[in-house]
Homo-oligomer: A and B are copies of this chain.
Amino acid sequence: MIDKTAKIGRNVRIGEYVVIEKNVVIGDDVVIGHHAVIKEDTIIGNHVIIDDLVSLGHRPSSNKKMARKPLPDLAPLVISNYVKVGSNCVVYRGSTISEGVFIGDLASIREKVKVGKGSIIGRNAMVENNTRIGERVTIQTSAYVTADMLIEDEVFIGPCFSSSNDKYMGEGNYPHQGPVLKKGAKIGNNATFLPGVVVGEKAIVGAGAVVTKNIEANIIAVGNPAKKL
C-alpha cells in the first residue's frame, strides 16, 4: 500500500506487503524489505537499505503514569544517504539518522535523537529520547542508552551496556540526566552507569564495572564500584 502523495525516487526496490504512508519522500537507489512500514512524512535519502518488518516514523505515546508526555510538534524522521536499517527495527518520528549509520536488527531509537555520521547502533540496542550520539560511535548489541545522554565522537560502547538517568527512580518531577561519555571513551561489556556520571576523554571502563562517580580522562576504571586501576 503506497499512498498516492508519497514521492519515490528512481531505482527503488520495494518488497511485498510494504506500507508507505502519506507525504513520505524516498530518494534514489533505495531497497525496502518486505512488510516494512514507513509512516507519514518520513524522509529517506539515497542508497538507503531498509530490511524486513521495520516500523519507521513512529509517534511516541504514553500512559497516565509516565513522566514524559508526547510531543505534538515532532519533526519527521530523517534517514540520510547510505544508512542501513536492520530487520524488525522501530525508529521514531523526530529523530535524525546521519549518513552511513548502521542500525542492527531488532533495535529501537526513540524521538529527538541525533545519530552522527558513520555510527553503529547494534542489534537489539535501545536508544531513548533526547540523546545525542556523535560521529563514528560504536554502540554494540543489546546496549541500553538512556534518555538525555550525551555520547561524543568515536566512543565505543560494549554489548549489554546499561545506563540510567533518574536518581529518584520514578519518584516524580526531578530533572533527569543521563551519563556523558567524552570523545574516544571506551566502555566494556555489561557495565552499569548511574545517572549523570561523566567519563573523560579516552578513559576506559572495564567490563562489568559499576560507575557511580565521574571517571577522569585517560584512566582505566574497573570493579563495583568502579575505581582507578
17 contacts between A and B (CB under 8 A): A16-B17, A17-B17, A35-B37, A35-B53, A52-B58, A55-B105, A58-B87, A63-B118, A106-B106, A106-B108, A124-B126, A142-B162, A156-B170, A159-B163, A160-B160, A162-B189, A224-B224
**Chain A residues near B (Cβ < 8 Å):** 1, 15-17, 19, 33-35, 37, 49, 51-53, 55, 58, 61-66, 82, 84, 86-88, 90, 100-102, 105-106, 108, 118-120, 123-124, 126, 128, 136, 138, 141-142, 144, 146, 156, 158-160, 162-164, 169-170, 186-190, 192-194, 204, 207-208, 210, 212, 223-225
Give every chain B residue within 8 A of A193 (Cβ-Cβ): 189, 207
Chain A interface, >50% SS class: loop
Do residues B186 and A160 form an inter-chain contact, with CB atoms below 8 A? no
Do residues B65 and A52 form an inter-chain contact, with CB atoms below 8 A? no
Do residues B192 and A208 form an inter-chain contact, with CB atoms below 8 A? yes
**How distant is A54 from chain B, measured CB to nearest CB, in Å?**
8
**How distant is A40 from chain B, measured CB to nearest CB, in Å?**
12
Give every chain B residue within 8 A of A212 (Cβ-Cβ): 207
Give every chain B residue within 8 A of A159 (Cβ-Cβ): 144, 146, 162-164
Closest to A168 in B: B186
A144-B141, A164-B159, A169-B188 known; A90 vs B86 contact (CB < 8 Å): yes
Scoring A15, A53, A62 by chain B CB atoms within 10 A of each residue's CB, the highest score goes to A53
In addition to A17-B19, A35-B53, 11 A-B residue pairs with Cβ atoms within 8 Å of each other are A52-B55, A52-B58, A53-B53, A55-B87, A126-B141, A158-B169, A169-B187, A188-B192, A188-B194, A193-B207, A207-B210
Of B1, B33, B162, the residue contacting A190 (CB under 8 A) is B162
